[in-house]
Structure 1
Amino acid sequence: MGKIIAIANQKGGVGKTTTSVNLAASLGVLEKKVLLIDADPQANASSGLGIDVETVEIGTYQILEHSNTPKEAVITCSAPNVDVIPAHIDLVAIEIELVDKENREYMLKKALESVKDEYDYIIIDCAPSLGLLTLNALTAADSVVIPIQCEYFALEGLGKLLNTIKSIQKIHNPELDIEGLLLTMYDSRLRLSNQVVEEVQKHFNDMVFETIIQRNVKLSEAPSFGESIINYDATSKGATNYLHLAQEIIKKNIQ
């Protein structure tokens, strides 16, 4: 039975897509079978793994509409053991199209029932908003990873996201768990980075992953080559960080 993990934060630029792509690739390298779902109309997770998003005919849009099955949407990518359900800019329209549908929050959950058993982990890269797309992802997920960048406004908006998660737990998905808060873009030379780490760890204790994702040039370069950090430079700090994160998640989920 696969575990569905949503990577969510309504703030942009916190490392959601970087985390989705590289966590999926790291789990794949650790011999887990992974499905990465791109649920962001910007489709960066798809292009970050070398998929030409202009040529995508079946993707997240079609599985949310239930016009195609997840199996029909799956593309294999350069990362070992990782399948991708890609996104396309047409995903922007799905919020409007689903608005009148009955059980509109459960479209993704329903679609994934047919493939959940075929993967060890299903990772959903969410859009930087708390709209219907993210709501579908959180309703379908077993847990959520919240990336937080080590910068001044790090905790701004976190309360709002945690409230959204609470109301989803209450109304749509009582099983939804917080997998952990992930500190990203950490620069040990900056006092501010260290203050943010201290503050987040003080407030949230055990909810914070031990792994901290450091600022790393290679991490920023990898997507422009359509590769995960593991494929692009397995010896880089970024690759080491994401492999540690994958190991931490696997350890946490050993039944």
Structure 2
Amino acid sequence: MPPLTSWLVLAILVLAAPTPPARATPVASFHAQREFDYFALALQWPGTYCHRTRHCCSSNACCRGSNGPTVFTIHGLWPDYNDGTWPACCTKSSFDPKEISTLTNALEQYWPSLSCSSPSTCSGGKEKHGTCSYPVIRNEYDYFLTTLNVYFKYNVTSVLNDAGYVPSNTEKYPLGGIISAIENAFHASPLIVCSKGSIEELRLCFYKDFKPRDCAVGPDIKIDMVTSKGSCPKYVSLPEPVSRFH
């Protein structure tokens, strides 16, 4: 597996493109859908996700034991609308793994599955979200490479570690402090989703030129950010990733 620095070098060589926003209500699938407004890069915290793992399988990165993820991993790059809805399955093009064969190692490490669920029609990241990234991102390879590049450039794990927010099964951190650390680093407000008081997902939002923007689209940004579907408390935990074996 190439070191992270190798992928950072790769990222520099890639076209600068836009990134995705937050979840709400999808519009009808396979119909002409209007062009999206912004991108949301959704990142998942394995310490929270993997604590819920009850069944292991070969595709679940939570079951890799000591080789499991220990940083925020990619959940998806999502095109969203400013009204809170989002496009999905914009074309009937099928995912072709051969198109991204040179990215396989990086995707397995930084964009792993954290479950054993079987994807249904138009549920994969490329079919559901990637096909709606046009005209900013025009093909499968660019969708995945662009997502990796944005992920490396805006390294949430490093920002939080540098600010003293490190994984812990005993510490609780002020949610406002975590938000401020992200805002100071990227000059835009994230959206945070919690599960039982633990950070489950953190989303960074971008304009179509991939410059950071605030994720919240409601009138009260701070309230919108911290009362996402998980309803984060004022103090949140960042559980240490667990090691499981299949």
Give the TM-score of the pair, scaled to structure 1: 0.25
With a CA cutoff of 8 Å and minimum separation of 6, indicate the structure with the bigger relative contact order. 2
Structure with greater helix share of residues: 1
Give the TM-score of the pair, scaled to structure 2: 0.26
